[in-house]
Each structure stands twice: as C-alpha cells, then as structure tokens.
C-alpha cells in the first residue's frame, strides 16, 4: 500500500512539470531582493535586521537552434519606481547562450520588493528562456546566504 502511494505521489509531481509552449516573445517578471529583512524587531524603530544582497540575473536561451533578442531589462524598486534599464540596446543571445546582468550588493534602492521586467523576442516561435536571479551575500568562510528567484511570464498593461 505504502509503495503504491509513493508511486502515485511521484507521478503527480512528475506530471506537474510541463514544458512551456513555444513563443516568439514575452514579458517576464523576475523578483529581486536587494536586501532581506530578518531576525526580530529590535531597537527604538522596531525594525528587523537587514542584509544587503547582490543578484546575478541569468537569461538562458534554451533553444538548440534559434537565437533570441533581449529588447529590455528594466529594474524597478519596491515602490514601483523605474531605477535602471540594464539593456541599452537589443542584445542577441545565441542558441544555448546566456546573458548575465548584475545588481551589486551596495545597491539598496531596489529594496526587498525589487523586480525586473525583461522583454524578449525571436524571429520564429521557440522555447522561452529560463530566467533566474541568484542572490548572494558571501563573506569569507563564516557567512554565506544565497537564494534563487525565477521569472514568470506576464502581460504588460497597455
């Protein structure tokens, strides 16, 4: 009985992961944390501790044949203010190539609710890129904090 239950759970989990539909372009929303709140609320202002993080944004072309173009990578703060455009001109990512963008640890304007809107397109329908942000605060051998966020497609308001 237990063995059958384990197989059923495995099949349900395996079925939940599906390939995305082919596309010739999308807008992607990527959560980014320029800092994390943590610990207990302390002191006169009752705020928790804050740790600054860097973020490596990785835009990976998953097609074996089709290049794609990143037309925009806009970085917004927690309050929705546009802070920076990371792609100054359309940038081609070859098949199986990767474009990396980097948000420095000292950048605190984004806040804990920062985000990117990344727009991409291709000449023909292809696999959407895999877009992740790897956040880190690594200080020697005594302190390391890392986390990953994943982009998801969104429809832009017109």
pLDDT (tens, 9 = 90+) of the chain, 158 residues, equals: 444 434 444 444 444 556 679 999 999 999 999 988 777 777 787 788 788 899 999 999 999 999 999 999 999 999 999 999 999 999 999 999 999 999 999 988 998 899 999 999 999 999 999 999 999 988 877 778 889 999 999 998 87
**pTM score, two decimals?**
0.83
Rounded-to-integer distance, Cα 53 and Cα 62, Å? 27
> Rounded to 5, what percent of the chain is helix, strand, coil?
10, 55, 35
Q: Which residues sit opposite 59 in a β-bridge?
A: 99, 131
Rounded-to-integer distance, Cα 129 and Cα 62, Å? 6
Is the CB of residue 33 less than 8 Å from the CB of residue 76? no
Is the CB of residue 127 less than 8 Å from the CB of residue 22? yes
């Amino acid at each position: 009985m237990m063995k059958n239950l384990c197989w059923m759970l495995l099949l349900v989990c395996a079925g939940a992961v599906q390939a995305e539909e082919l596309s010739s372009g999308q807008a992607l929303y990527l959560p980014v944390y320029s800092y994390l709140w943590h610990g207990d609320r302390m002191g006169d202002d009752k705020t928790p501790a804050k740790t600054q993080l860097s973020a490596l944004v990785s835009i990976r072309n998953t097609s074996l044949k089709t290049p794609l173009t990143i037309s925009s990578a806009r970085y917004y703060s927690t309050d929705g203010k546009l802070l920076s455009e990371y792609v100054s001109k359309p940038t081609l990512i070859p098949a199986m190539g990767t474009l990396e963008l980097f948000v420095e640890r000292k950048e605190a304007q984004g806040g804990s609710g920062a985000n990117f809107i990344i727009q991409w397109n291709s000449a023909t329908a292809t696999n959407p890129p895999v877009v992740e942000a790897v956040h880190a605060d690594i200080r020697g051998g005594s302190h390391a904090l890392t986390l990953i966020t994943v982009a998801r497609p969104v429809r832009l308001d017109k």
